[in-house]
Structure 1
Amino acid sequence: MSAPQNFKNHARFDPKFHFFTVPLALLCFLASILHVWKQQTPANVLLVPVTIVLFMTVGIARGYALQVQDRLIRLEESLRMERLGISHAGLTIRQFVALRFASDAELPALTERARTEKLSSKQIKEAIVNWRADYDRV
């Protein structure tokens, strides 16, 4: 790891997804449109919806993986909050995901603020003083 994780550098890219899979799927889609433009054969016409499905499948698979990660984070943070005696009733999943970066010491007050003020995940992360890094999320 290079620099310690904080609000400014916590967002991550998955090179296999962001720099290979998505661009390649987009390139296939654009190439299929070019083929139809140059020569309208039944195979070229069929290639467009096939590449649309490919591109959508890539996005849907990524979305499902992020949903699972969010649910696991909610479970982990619920257990942490219970251990610390903090009520997590009324929090959204996005708030749970943001609160995972808060230290144990600041979690009770920040959780209450998030619930009562309906803070967004960005607002929660900006309010964190002692950042608790999460290097596992992709």
Structure 2
Amino acid sequence: MGLLFLGWTIFRIDFNSHQSASDSLYFILLGLIIFLISYLPRIYAIKNQNRIIRMEMRQRYFQLTGKAFYEKENKLSPSQIIALRFAGDDELLALIDKTIQENTTPKEIKKSVSNWQADHHRV
């Protein structure tokens, strides 16, 4: 809805007079605000889920090794950590080491997972 309103205001821009130009700019600002307000909850949900994924990976790594994940976590990008979470426990440690050594892309990580752990609750 916000994107539709923004598009409508851009389509109706009128700079023929000072009054119509200022009205057009106000409507564009209002359209941007409405669009951002409708978009922000999704951004917050995704950021929150990414934090939860990091916590989940820290817990899994600790359960498998008895060591903290922070040292390895600092060598991985957030997208790599998210891709690694799909690996089963039996292959996770090897994939973490391979990812750090070869700087594997998230797409390559997902292709190399043989024991896929699906996530059906992602936003």
- With the length of structure 1 as denominator, give the TM-score of the two structures: 0.72
Aligned AA (2:4): L
Q: Percent identity?
A: 31
State the structure with bigger RCO (CA 8 A, min sep 6), 1 or 2.
Answer: 1
Q: How many residues align?
A: 115
SS at structure 1 position matched to 2:89: coil
User: For 1:111 and 1:27, how far apart are their aligned partners in 2?
Assistant: 44
User: For 1:60 and 1:123, how far apart are their aligned partners in 2?
Assistant: 30
For the pair shown, which has the larger CA radius of gyration, 1 or 2?
2
**After the TM superposition, which of the residue ranges 102-111 and 40-49 deviates more from structure 2?**
40-49
Aligned AA (1:103): G
1:26-48 CA deviation, whole Å, 9 max, x = no partner?
A: 11101112333498364443111
Aligned AA (2:44): Y
38, 42, 50: which is aligned to 1:70? Answer: 50
Aligned AA (1:33): I
Q: Gaps (5+ residues) in structure 2?
A: none
Q: Gaps (5+ residues) in structure 1?
A: 1-23
Q: Following superposition, which runs of at least 4 residues in structure 1 exceed 6 angstroms of deviation? A: none
Give the superposed CA RMSD: 2.2
Counterpart in 2 of 1:21?
none
Counterpart in 1 of 2:112?
127
1:79-126 CA deviation, whole Å, 9 max, x = no partner?
A: 011101176322222221111110111111111111111112111111
SS at structure 1 position matched to 2:115: coil
**Structure 1 residues 110 and 37, CA gap change in structure 2 (3 angstroms):** same
